[in-house]
Amino acid sequence: MSKRRFLNYLGLTVSTLSALIGLFFLFWIIISLIYKGFHYLNWNVFTQNAVAPGDNGGGLKFAILGQLEVVGIASLIGIPIGLLAGIYLSEYGKDSFTSNVIRNICDAMTSIPSIIIGIFIYALLVVPMGNFSALAGSVALSILMIPIVISSVDNILRLVPNELREAAYALGAPKYVVIFKVVVKEAIVGIISAILIAISRVLGETAPLLFTSFNSNFESYKLNKPIGTLTVTMYDYAMGPYDNWHHLAWAAAIILTFSVLLFNIASRLFSYWRFSH
């Protein structure tokens, strides 16, 4: 066998093995989660609220709805800002000094530990307001989302061929029409999958919520009051002494993992749909 062919096989084997190792751990996590936690998932988990510690039964309704509210409002804040900033970078800023500075800051921000963002919002919103609030949690999550949305929208829009823009300009379209009716329309599928990825990124976060939206054992959805969330409740229940809490923590883990998976798969399907058209 020639040396080149041997190296080819070697490289192929090593990379296939690496891929399998990655997949192995992903499936291990999912399968052990289903194996250990699936039988704790029942209708009550979705329809009941928390009961006092040590009592049996109860569910996670307050935390599931709370999580949806916090992530929903975070998306309402984060997605428009990220989208518009991404459009600015790709269509107006281009390769100017300012936009490169913004790009670098975005890259740096995606790697900031999320607990730091939580503490930042604690100092910025919670201490001055004198109260933990659902809104503070949403703001913390939106700060996590914004840089992700900005850099992916920027990258996606820059993939749109320049000829399309030129053609629209040649027909006399003003810039905002070119951007919204030509560039964004061309890239809409990529933008939606980027948004879904950003949502799934913040869906499983606990650290930024600990000191912002706090947690609550009661059902309350007010924006200016602490709110129960699935991630923080799961953490509390998993570390507590009672079996019933551990069961609910397993159920919460399954709900969270599968929602994140669902968002990821949805974003994959969107990009697949784009290429098949």
Residues within the interface to another protein (CB under 8 A): 51-54, 69, 76, 126-127, 130-132, 180-181, 184-185, 188, 210-211, 214-226, 236, 238-243
For another protein, the closer CB: 59 or 226: 226
Give me the least distance between CB of 121 and another protein, in Å please: 12
For another protein, the closer CB: 65 or 146: 65
For another protein, the closer CB: 14 or 175: 175
Give me the least distance between CB of 266 and another protein, in Å please: 18
Give me the least distance between CB of 210 and another protein, in Å please: 7
For another protein, the closer CB: 102 or 126: 126
- C-alpha to C-alpha distance for 59 and 252, rounded to whole angstroms: 10
For another protein, the closer CB: 184 or 202: 184
Give me the least distance between CB of 181 and another protein, in Å please: 6
Give me the least distance between CB of 116 and another protein, in Å please: 15
For another protein, the closer CB: 12 or 76: 76
Give me the least distance between CB of 154 and another protein, in Å please: 19
